[in-house]
């Protein structure tokens, strides 16, 4: 009976995930999955209810504290802080799975069968990496530590060495059944999570976040093997697979392999690309307002700068004003714009931009030749033409939004500093490009004010 | 290997394939909610945490058990709530634009 109820929960998870795949059914899907989770928890509590000496105090305290903290975070956080929140939740999930395995080790690792020892090792390993890796990602996204790639001593060899040591200790744990081996393993996994994520730059965060998401599922599934619970195995496997799909899609959007993202420390400052000294067309908000006012089609291209400046409402206000003047406004969203998959979509949705105005790469690019003004707000590498034209460019081959095909390009950017990849952007020096040096939000507001004064 | 463990492997592999099939074609607009909803589902580890915390004895188990349940609950409650909050935003677009 218990197993059947867990099956019900698993079915609700599957239906929920399927619902999340389409805009019309997404909210219902999420609710179905939540109901599934509720069923699973109730079933578990009912299952242990008759056991002697149940530590209810611990369970209830954990549920209350965790529930309150989770709800508070979920309801309080700004939409612009969503990437780090997702990273943090991920970390907690991975940590919980590792703790479940750790409790088995505390009990008595010498009685483990070989297969149980293997899955205990795996859930400690994957869970702990997810935990520490997610919180490093959190710290980077929250600005607590530098978002730039940090070079490790020895580069990728450092992690290779730690990884090899981890595998060796894992084997030691399985063979010896010694609790100490498990704790050393956990410590190494913790280090690996930190040193695995710290060299990775902010622009690669969409890949990292979705990979950590996938790992948190794998950790849960491994914990399911440890305690012999199929609900965990199913739920974990579903999430592991879903996260892996997103990870691969994000890597493809940058034309790089997952291994390259994880181990290259891209844009680590070692590339000595020279910044060109060419002149740029500096524009005032008034200049930009005039060219927007007389445009027929405007394409907004948002990037991470929009999120940093919390300029999603400002861009929407400007778009409204333009639409009142009869200008058609659309948005071109690069798959890796921002710091997590779909980051720009969430921000623009918060500002009430209808999602049918958001165009993906394949739909946006054919429209740039018909676009009068491409308004680039806080994006850089995803609109860099050298990814298309310069075989020597480190980002050569990455699909870009071809804003340089628009009649006029307006770039709102704080300074000429290179983007995340540390490469110069020829777009800024084109004759048709107007550079408005400003914070994204202030820049958009000034343009709007100038537009209304016309 | 025990039968239970082999059964677990079968379930794991099949569930992974279901996961691939169900999500393979999701529009970019939904990438964040999908990720955060999936993230909440990975909090299913709450089931293991509750079981272990309730039945285990000893001081270490109390601390680890409490942390395990609390972490998993943050993941579950926070994950589902924040996903719902995002999806609510996607919905409200009363005649906005065209």
CATH number at residue A430: 3.40.50.1220
Q: Judge whether A411 and A404 are in contact, CB under 8 Å.
A: no
- Concerning whether A287 is annotated as a catalytic residue, the answer is no
Contact between chains at B66 and A209 (C-beta distance less than 8 A)? no
A-chain CB neighbours of B29 within 8 Å are 23, 342, 345, 349, 355, 358
**Picking from A283-287, A381-385, A422-426, B81-85, which range would have the lowest pLDDT averaged per residue?**
A422-426
Q: Where are the domains of chain B?
A: 27-91
pLDDT in tens, B7-53: 999 999 999 999 998 888 888 888 999 999 999 999 999 999 999 89
**Residues A428 and A331 occupy one common structural domain:** yes
**Residues A290 and A180 occupy one common structural domain:** no
Catalytic residue of the set A381, A390, A424, A431: A381
**Residues A348 and A442 occupy one common structural domain:** yes
Residue A222 is assigned to a structural domain of this protein: yes
pLDDT in tens, A139-175: 988 888 877 777 788 777 888 899 999 999 999 999 9
A-chain CB neighbours of B6 within 8 Å are none
Residue A63 is assigned to a structural domain of this protein: no
Cα separation, A64 vs B52, whole angstroms: 17
> In A285-416, which residue ranges form alpha helices assigned H by DSSP?
285-293, 304-308, 312-324, 343-350, 361-364, 386-389
Supply the mean pLDDT for chain A. Answer: 90
DSSP line for A281-307: -B--HHHHHHHHHT-SEEEEEE-HHHH
Residue A144 has a CB neighbour count (10 Å cut-off) of 12
Residue A376 is assigned to a structural domain of this protein: yes
**Which of A217, A233, A263 is at the close of a domain?**
A263
pLDDT in tens, A22-66: 888 999 999 999 999 999 999 999 998 888 888 899 999 999 999
**Residues A195 and A294 occupy one common structural domain:** no
Residue A181 has a CB neighbour count (10 Å cut-off) of 22
- Nearest by CB: B15 against A234, A343, A349: A234
Q: Which of B3, B13, B48 to mutate to test the interface with A (most CBs of A within 10 A)?
A: B48
* Mean pLDDT in residue range A106-123: 92
**Residues A204 and A335 occupy one common structural domain:** no
Going by pLDDT thresholds of 50, 70 and 90, the confidence category of residue A412 is very high
**Residues A296 and A445 occupy one common structural domain:** yes
Q: Which of A119, A349, A364 to mutate to test the interface with B (most CBs of B within 10 A)?
A: A349
**Residues A120 and A156 occupy one common structural domain:** yes
pLDDT in tens, A240-251: 999 999 999 888
Cα separation, A311 vs A309, whole angstroms: 5
Residue A69 is assigned to a structural domain of this protein: no
Scanning every residue of chain A, which has its alpha carbon at the shortest distance from the alpha carbon of B24? Answer: A245
**Residues A127 and A209 occupy one common structural domain:** yes
Residue A305 is assigned to a structural domain of this protein: yes
C-alpha pair distances (Å), A210 with each of A80, A176, A205, B32: 18, 35, 8, 9
Alpha-carbon gap: A385 to the closest alpha carbon of chain B (Å): 23
B-chain CB neighbours of A236 within 8 Å are 12, 42, 44-45
Alpha-carbon gap: A22 to the closest alpha carbon of chain B (Å): 7
| Structural domains in chain A (count) | 2
Per the structure, the complete domain to which residue A342 belongs is given by 285-453
A-chain CB neighbours of B50 within 8 Å are 41, 44-45, 48, 59, 62-63
Residue A181 in tokens = 């081996």
Is the pLDDT reported for residue A271 higher than 60?
A: no
Is the pLDDT reported for residue A265 higher than 90?
A: no
DSSP line for B1-31: --HHHHHHHHHHHHHHHHHHHHHSS--GGGH
> In A108-178, which residue ranges form alpha helices assigned H by DSSP?
114-142, 156-176
Is the pLDDT reported for residue A90 higher than 80?
A: yes
- Nearest by CB: B77 against A26, A66, A100: A66
């Amino acid at each position: 009976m218990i197993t059947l109820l867990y099956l019900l929960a698993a079915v609700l998870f599957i239906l929920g995930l399927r619902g999340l795949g389409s805009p019309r059914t997404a909210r219902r899907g999420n609710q179905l999955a939540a109901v599934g989770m509720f069923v699973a928890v109730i079933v578990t509590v009912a299952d242990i209810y008759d056991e002697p000496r149940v530590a209810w105090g611990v369970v209830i305290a954990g549920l209350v504290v965790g529930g309150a903290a989770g709800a508070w975070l979920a309801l309080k956080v700004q939409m612009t802080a969503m990437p780090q929140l997702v990273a943090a939740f991920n970390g907690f999930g991975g940590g919980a799975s590792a703790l479940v395995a750790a409790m088995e080790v505390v009990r008595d690792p010498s009685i483990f069968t070989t297969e149980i020892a293997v899955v205990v090792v795996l859930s400690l390993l994957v869970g702990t990496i997810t935990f520490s890796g997610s919180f490093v990602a959190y710290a980077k996204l929250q600005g607590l530590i530098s978002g730039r790639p940090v070079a490790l001593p020895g580069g990728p060899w450092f992690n290779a060495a730690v990884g090899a040591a981890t595998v060796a200790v894992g084997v030691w744990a399985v063979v010896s059944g010694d609790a100490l081996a498990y704790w050393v393993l956990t410590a190494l996994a913790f280090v690996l999570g930190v040193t695995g994520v710290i060299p990775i730059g902010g622009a690669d965060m969409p890949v990292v976040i979705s990979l950590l998401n996938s790992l948190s599922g794998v950790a849960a599934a491994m914990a399911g093997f440890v305690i012999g619970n199929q609900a965990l195995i199913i739920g974990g496997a579903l999430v592991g697979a879903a996260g892996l799909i997103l990870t691969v899609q994000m890597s493809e959007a940058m034309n790089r392999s997952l291994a390259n993202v994880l181990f290259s420390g891209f844009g680590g400052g070692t590339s000595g690309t020279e910044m060109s000294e060419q002149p740029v067309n500096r524009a005032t908000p008034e200049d930009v307002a005039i060219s927007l006012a007389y445009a027929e089609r405007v394409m907004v291209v948002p990037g991470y700068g929009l999120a940093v400046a919390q300029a999603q409402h400002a861009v929407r206000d400007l778009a409204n004003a333009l639409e009142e003047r009869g200008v058609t406004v659309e948005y071109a969203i690069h798959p890796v714009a921002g710091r997590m998959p779909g980051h720009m979509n969430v921000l623009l949705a918060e500002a009430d931009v209808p999602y049918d105005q958001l165009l993906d790469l394949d739909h946006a690019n054919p429209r740039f030749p018909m676009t009068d003004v491409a308004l680039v707000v806080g994006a850089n590498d995803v609109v860099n033409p050298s990814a298309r034209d310069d075989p020597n460019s480190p980002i050569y081959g990455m699909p870009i939004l071809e804003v340089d095909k628009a009649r006029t390009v307006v770039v709102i950017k704080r300074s000429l500093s290179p983007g995340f990849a540390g490469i110069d952007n020829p777009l800024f020096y084109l004759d048709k490009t107007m550079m408005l040096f400003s914070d994204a939000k202030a820049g958009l507001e000034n343009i709007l004010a100038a537009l209304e004064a016309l | 290997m025990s039968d239970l463990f082999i059964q677990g492997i079968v379930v794991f592999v099949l569930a992974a394939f279901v996961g691939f099939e169900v999500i393979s074609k999701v529009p970019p607009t939904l990438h964040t909610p999908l990720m955060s909803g999936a993230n909440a589902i990975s909090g299913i580890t709450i089931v293991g945490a509750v079981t272990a915390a309730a039945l285990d004895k000893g001081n270490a188990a109390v601390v680890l058990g409490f942390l395990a349940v609390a972490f998993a609950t943050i993941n579950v409650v926070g994950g589902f709530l924040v996903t719902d909050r995002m999806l609510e935003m996607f919905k409200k677009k009363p005649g906005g634009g065209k």
